[in-house]
Amino acid sequence: MKRPLVEDIRERIDEFTATEKKAAHALLARYPVQGLGTVAQFAEAAGVSSPTILRFVSRLGFGGFSEFQDRLRLELDNQLNSPLARSASMDTDGDADPHVSKMVENIQETFLHLPKGELDGFIKLLADEKRTINLIGGRFTDALARYTASHLRIVRPNVVHIAGQQGNWLDQLLGIGPRDVVVVFDIRRYQAEIIHFSEAAAKKGAAIALVTDSWMSPIGRIAAYVLPARVAVPSPWDSSLALMAIAELLITGVTQLNPARSQQRMLELENLRDDHDPASDSPRGGPDI
Partner DNA sequence: TCCCGATTGTAATTTTTATTACAGGATTGC
Partner DNA sequence: GCAATCCTGTAATAAAAATTACAATCGGGA
Contact residues toward DNA (CB under 7 A) are 17-20, 38-40, 48-52, 54-55, 57, 64-66
- Residue 106 makes CB contacts below 8 A (sequence gap 6+) with 229, 230, 231, 232, 233, 239, 241, 242
| Cβ distance to DNA smaller for residue 18 or 260 | 18
Among DNA, a copy of itself, none, what binds residue 51 when CB lies within 5 to 8 Å by partner kind? DNA
| Residue 107 and residue 241 in contact, taking contact as beta carbons nearer than 8 Å | yes
Minimum CB separation of residue 52 from a copy of itself in Å reads 21
Q: Does 1 bind a copy of itself (CB under 8 A)?
A: no
6 binds, among DNA, a copy of itself, none (CB under 5 to 8 A by kind): a copy of itself
Contacts 24+ apart (CB under 8 A), 14-23: 15/59, 16/56, 16/59, 17/55, 19/46, 19/48, 19/49, 19/52, 20/52, 20/55, 20/56, 20/59, 22/46, 22/47, 22/48, 22/52, 23/48, 23/52, 23/53, 23/56
CA distance readout (Å), 58 to 25, 68, 69, 257: 16, 9, 12, 46
Query: How far, in Å, CA of 136 to CA of 182, rounded?
Result: 7
The SS3 assignment for 197 reads helix
Closest contact distance (angstroms) between CB of 287 and a copy of itself is 8
Out of 1, 174, 192, 260, name the contact with a copy of itself by CB under 8 A. 192
For the CB of residue 182, give the shortest distance to a copy of itself in the complex, in Å: 17
Interface positions, 37-96, toward a copy of itself (CB under 8 A): 37, 69-70, 73, 76-77, 79-89, 91-93, 96
Which of residues 8, 17, 99, 171 is near a copy of itself by CB under 8 A?
99
Q: Are 176 and 206 in contact (CB under 8 A)?
A: yes
Pick what 52 binds: DNA, a copy of itself, none; C-beta below 5 to 8 Å, kind-dependent.
Answer: DNA
- Subset of residues 195 to 234 that bind a copy of itself, contact rule: CB under 8 A: 196, 233
Residue ranges with strand state E in 10-113: none
HSE at residue 181, side-chain half, CA atoms within 13 A, is 21
Is cis: bond before 32, omega within 30 of 0? yes
Radius of gyration of the chain (CA): 28
Q: Is 63 helix (H, G, I), strand (E, B) or coil?
A: coil
If the CB atoms of residues 65 and 185 are measured against DNA, the closer one turns out to be 65
Residue among 67 and 281 whose Cβ is closer to DNA:
67
Helices (H) and strands (E) in the chain, counts: 13, 5
Give, as ranges, the residues between 115 and 154 that touch a copy of itself (CB under 8 A). 138-140, 142-144, 146-147, 150-151
Complex with a copy of itself: residue 17 or 256, whichever CB lies closer: 256
Residue 6 engages a copy of itself in binding (rule: CB under 8 A): yes
CB of 209 to a copy of itself, least distance (A): 18
Q: Minimum Å distance from CB 20 to DNA?
A: 5
Nearest distance from C-beta of residue 53 to DNA, angstroms:
8
CB of 228 to a copy of itself, least distance (A): 15
- Residue 40 binds what, of a copy of itself, DNA, none (CB under 5 to 8 Å, by partner type)? DNA
